[in-house]
Structure 1
Amino acid sequence: MTTPLSSTAETSLPPSGSPPAPVARKFVAAYVLGQLGLWTALLTPVTVSISLKISQIAPDTKTSSLSIVLSIGALLSMVATPIWGNLSDRTTSRFGRRRPWLAGGVLAGTVGLVIIALAQSVPLVVVGWSIAQMGFNASQAALNALLPDNVPEDHRGRVSGMVGFTSKVGTLIGTGLVALSGGAVESMLLLPAVFGLLMIGLLVAVLPDRPADPTRLAPFRIADIARSLWVNPFAHRDFGWAWAGRFLLYLGYAFFLTFQAYVITDHLGYKDSEAPDLVFYGTLAVTIGGLLTAVLGGRISDRLERRKIFVGVSAAVMGAGLLIIGLSTTYTHFLIGGTVVGLGMGTYLAVDMALVARVLPNPDNAAKDLGVFQIANSLPQSLAPLIAPIFLTIGGSDHNYPATFMAGAVFAVLGALATAPIRGVR
């Protein structure tokens, strides 16, 4: 028998370690909007704004400069996110253990984007993006933990279906704001950040939250900072395989996220001035494809009580979409590939987080463990720009995007195969 969604205004938080109480619709709505706002602020710069800023201040080295900026920022966020998660799990503030990190993180991230907007050199963009990544990922660490904190197991597929695809809708909103910015890169960076501030503020206002129980916390030592970055994949094999699957899939997807603007300009021959609108339409194609499968996939997964098959098949579909993009010779082909990527991404994001919540090593440290899992999202952002030149330079050029996206498709399929050894989830 499933637990019904509660219509009450507050979600009653159970004692640590107990199953979550019925989840309030008000919380779910605020949770979705909070994730939507954060992804809008975080992913819009990755998708288009930073690449255009770099093209503006360093046109002769834009590809290598973009790789450096994104790699350093992603590396710092990868290290910071599980640490923020561990500290969130231990936060005894009267405002709760999640609220301070949600609010403080999005404020710090916005400061980083202001620095980028004002920057006139690549090193200053690096500084701004590093601050932005670490700040926004502090909020993300707290957001990730809200699913196991507040949502019962038999509703996690449908809730994660609504929440999971907010990354694509957030990117769509962000690229829409970019298209409406009138070509001013400063507005392209700051308008999505303002939207993120508003949405996280709404979530903080209605979030059911409580401080960590000091009596349940072991003494904190400096060594615990290093332990924040690690979950033993041999002791927790299911978590390890889930991490590997997400990492491989996102490594392939990072090629698309990082280089789509340059595919449009360098490979398909459009002007830089046309890129914001064309990236927006490409993001719209991904979003429409994902919306067709996100919530439905999560509901079917809940009903069948199966996760692995949905995760594996959807990852393989994403690989097919990346292959289509890599082989595209027209913008129409690019849009078709983006739609296929979205069809796979919708179900994948709906079900994969529900799968991961089931195999967490320690539910009492959900933010910390999910912070480690978040590394599987952020590490590819660092690695993709570093390893992409291996494929970009095949054939003697520096923009062999077909080979690069074919490699991305292979990584996505390997991510699909990584779900097979998971035993604790059907």
Structure 2
Amino acid sequence: MDKVAEAPKKRFPIHLGFGLLIGCLGWLIPYCGLAITLLPAKIGQIDPSHKVAWVATFSATAMVVAAISNIIVGALSDRTRTKIGKRTPWIIGGTVFTIIFFYLISISTSIQMMLVLYALYQIALNSCVASLAAFIPDRVAPEHRGTASSFVGIAATLGNSGAGLIAAHFIIHINFGIYVFAGVAILFEVIALLLIKEPGNVDEPREKLNKASSIFKTFALPIKGAHDFYLALSGRLMFTSALNMITGFQLYILTDYMHLGTGKTASTISLISTIMLITGVICGVIAGPFADKIGRYKLPVAICMMMVGFGAFFPFFDAHPWTMMVFTFINGIFNGAYNAVDQALTVAVLPDEQTAAKDLGILNLANTLGQIVGPLLAGAIIASMGYKMIFPTVMVICLVGAGLILLIKRDK
């Protein structure tokens, strides 16, 4: 483990916090801008008749490659020893290859080639994702990890909301938009690494991969002391699946369940995005330091899950836009707080900080699987019972997820 994390710190390293914020925005904004807006637009230009099927194929492929590469890259970065540290080389490499793949995607006129390039981009992307996440256990003392998590949570809120607003300006000039996002990746990651200033770790001990046991420890799922780890993984999977049940079908909930027209739907979605952005950032700023102050993470995380579940019950009672606004407001507050604290909780339950990046990659499987499980479950409920029953189901799943989090014993 990095020596920086061994000694308690009197003050939170603010430069590291802003490095995490900017670094996360450096991969999140380009990724969301490409995946959500520009890539579907380019696919629509090349093959408009089959664009829906192609977008689904791209999404499924990306999730599989991302899940695997996050774990493998994380494990390799845990073992990296260089004069610029063990995470920095992977962030530099991931950013360089992101630029290359963005350029190749922009000039490609073949859907099949774009699919291959997009899959390879996921490996470059997760070189940054896995390495940045590991800076919290590497460089932040336990008493400040909630605050560090807040910076990551704020980045998630800003990145998810801001990317769409930026990408919308490049729908006509798609390739230029891709170049803009490539520039964002370079600029933000360079600034982030200058702020983080990871020290060299050439002399840090490293177990040799000359035995089956050491290879297993490096790449396999954790077993020893992993009870809390898997509770956190299961709780996060429940929560992300529940959220994706609603967000994945948000458009159809407004049009088919609440029967809004095109204009009203567009304005409602815009209002929802604005509310989520404002409440998410404000609560993200507050929640992490508050969790550090009380010295507990699992209770705030569990409360956030339960409150989001409670908010999801409003659209069940009344199929009108005001109920979605109530849910959005509650979701913005408590999902923003959740994003700010959950990362600190997951760091607290790591079985071995020597394999932090790999194990955080495994925990990120919950996010990936949640994006698959949530819409699939919602689709089955809609087909059999209608949109109305999505909302009580979300509430139950959130409560189960919160219960799993409360069973965690290690909470500091």
In the TM superposition, 1:28-39 aligns within 5 A as 28-39=17-28
Measured at CA, do residues 281 and 188 of structure 1 come closer, stay the same or move farther in structure 2, by a change above 3 Å? Answer: farther
Residue in 2 that maps onto 1:5: none
Measured at CA, do residues 257 and 238 of structure 1 come closer, stay the same or move farther in structure 2, by a change above 3 Å? Answer: same
Which sits farther off after the overlay, 175-184 or 216-225? 216-225
Residue in 2 that maps onto 1:424: 410
In the TM superposition, 1:220-259 aligns within 5 A as 220=209, 228=218, 230-232=220-222, 235-259=225-249
Residue in 1 that maps onto 2:272: 282
Is the 1:41–1:195 Cα contact (8 Å) retained in structure 2? yes
| 1:380 matched to 2:370 | yes
Measured at CA, do residues 122 and 251 of structure 1 come closer, stay the same or move farther in structure 2, by a change above 3 Å? Answer: farther
How far does the alpha carbon of each residue in 1:264-305 deviate from its partner, in whole angstroms, 9 at most, with x for none? 677766669x96x87554332212121232222222222222
Is the 1:285–1:336 Cα contact (8 Å) retained in structure 2? no
Residue identity opposite 1:337 in structure 2: F
Per the TM alignment, residue 37 of structure 1 is displaced from its structure 2 partner at its CA by 2.4
| 1:132 matched to 2:118 | no
Count of matched residue pairs: 408
Residue identity opposite 1:101 in structure 2: W
Kindly report the root-mean-square deviation, in angstroms, between the aligned alpha carbons of the 2 structures.
Answer: 3.4
In the TM superposition, 1:172-187 aligns within 5 A as 172-181=161-170, 183-187=172-176
Is the 1:287–1:339 Cα contact (8 Å) retained in structure 2? no
Per the TM alignment, residue 232 of structure 1 is displaced from its structure 2 partner at its CA by 3.4
Per the TM alignment, residue 73 of structure 1 is displaced from its structure 2 partner at its CA by 0.5
CA distance in 2, matches of 1:290, 1:339: 9
Structure that is richer in helix per residue: 2
Which sits farther off after the overlay, 243-252 or 371-380? 371-380
Structure-1-length-normalised TM-score = 0.82
CA distance in 2, matches of 1:384, 1:124: 29
How far does the alpha carbon of each residue in 1:113-167 deviate from its partner, in whole angstroms, 9 at most, with x for none? 4455455565444323322322211101111111111211111112211222311
Structure-2-length-normalised TM-score = 0.84
Is the 2:309–2:399 Cα contact (8 Å) retained in structure 1? yes
Residue identity opposite 1:344 in structure 2: F
Residue identity opposite 2:94 in structure 1: G
Query: SS of the counterpart of 2:406?
Result: coil
How far does the alpha carbon of each residue in 1:318-345 deviate from its partner, in whole angstroms, 9 at most, with x for none? 3344555788856665444333222111
Residue in 2 that maps onto 1:204: 193
CA distance in 2, matches of 1:388, 1:125: 30
Measured at CA, do residues 149 and 130 of structure 1 come closer, stay the same or move farther in structure 2, by a change above 3 Å? Answer: same
Residue in 2 that maps onto 1:302: 292
Which sits farther off after the overlay, 289-298 or 185-194? 185-194
Residue identity opposite 1:205 in structure 2: L
How far does the alpha carbon of each residue in 1:218-273 deviate from its partner, in whole angstroms, 9 at most, with x for none? 1126966765554335731111111111122112233455444565677766669x
| 1:15 matched to 2:3 | yes
Measured at CA, do residues 192 and 142 of structure 1 come closer, stay the same or move farther in structure 2, by a change above 3 Å? Answer: same
Residue in 1 that maps onto 2:137: 148
Residue identity opposite 1:314 in structure 2: C
CA distance in 2, matches of 1:408, 1:335: 17
CA distance in 2, matches of 1:85, 1:255: 29
Measured at CA, do residues 258 and 30 of structure 1 come closer, stay the same or move farther in structure 2, by a change above 3 Å? Answer: same
Per the TM alignment, residue 78 of structure 1 is displaced from its structure 2 partner at its CA by 0.6
